[in-house]
């Protein structure tokens, strides 16, 4: 079974600085998808960025980028120019590409990010 591990329960960053959140996963599959979701105190889970395992190029969305290391099974999120609105819980998630597992997102336990003004 696949697992997702986020080893940093809490992180803190100064406004305008850069922070990196870590995520590792375990799978025997070669094709899958990885996601970072943000959950602010309002509870709504918001998609930040996604990565297809077959793509070697790291995904980027404005200030958010990932470092995807397939061999190491690592998927870290870098937030540049941090803003107060970035403060939230961040969840790393895995989704298989195969058969009946397509619907199943597997989440890590999350990292709580605080942004200091």
Partner 1 sequence: DAGVTQSPTHLIKTRGQQVTLRCSPKSGHDTVSWYQQALGQGPQFIFQYYEEEERQRGNFPDRFSGHQFPNYSSELNVNALLLGDSALYLCASSLSGLGQETQYFGPGTRLLVL
Rule CB under 8 A: which of 33-72 touch partner 1? 33, 35, 37, 42-47, 50
Q: Is 95 in the site for partner 1 (CB under 8 A)?
A: yes
Instruction: Decide: residue 104, CB within 10 A, 0-12 exposed, 13-18 middle, 19+ buried.
Output: exposed
Interface with partner 1 (CB under 8 A), residue from 23, 106, 113, 115:
106
- Torsional sign, CA 57, 58, 59, 61: negative
21-29, 55-63, 79-87, 99-107 -> range binding partner 1 (CB under 8 A): 99-107
17-25, 63-71, 76-84, 102-110 -> range binding partner 1 (CB under 8 A): 102-110
Distance CA 65, CA 59 (A): 6
Half-sphere exposure of 77 (CA within 13 A, CB side): 30
15-23, 59-67, 70-78, 105-113 -> range binding partner 1 (CB under 8 A): 105-113
Count, residues in the chain: 117
> β-pairing, 10-14 with 111-116?
parallel
- The footprint of partner 1 (CB under 8 A) covers 4, 33, 35, 37, 42-47, 50, 91, 93, 95, 97, 100-110
């Amino acid at each position: 079974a696949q697992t997702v591990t986020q080893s940093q329960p809490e992180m803190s960053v100064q406004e305008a600085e850069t922070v990196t959140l870590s995520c590792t996963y375990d799978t025997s599959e070669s094709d899958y998808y990885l996601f970072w979701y943000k959950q602010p105190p309002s509870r709504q889970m918001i998609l930040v960025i996604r990565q297809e395992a077959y793509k070697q190029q790291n995904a980027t969305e404005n200030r958010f980028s990932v470092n995807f290391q397939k061999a190491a099974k690592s998927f870290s999120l870098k937030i540049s120019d941090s803003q107060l609105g970035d403060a939230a819980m961040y969840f790393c998630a895995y989704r298989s590409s195969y058969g009946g597992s397509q619907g199943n997102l597997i989440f890590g336990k999350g990292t709580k990010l605080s942004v200091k003004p």
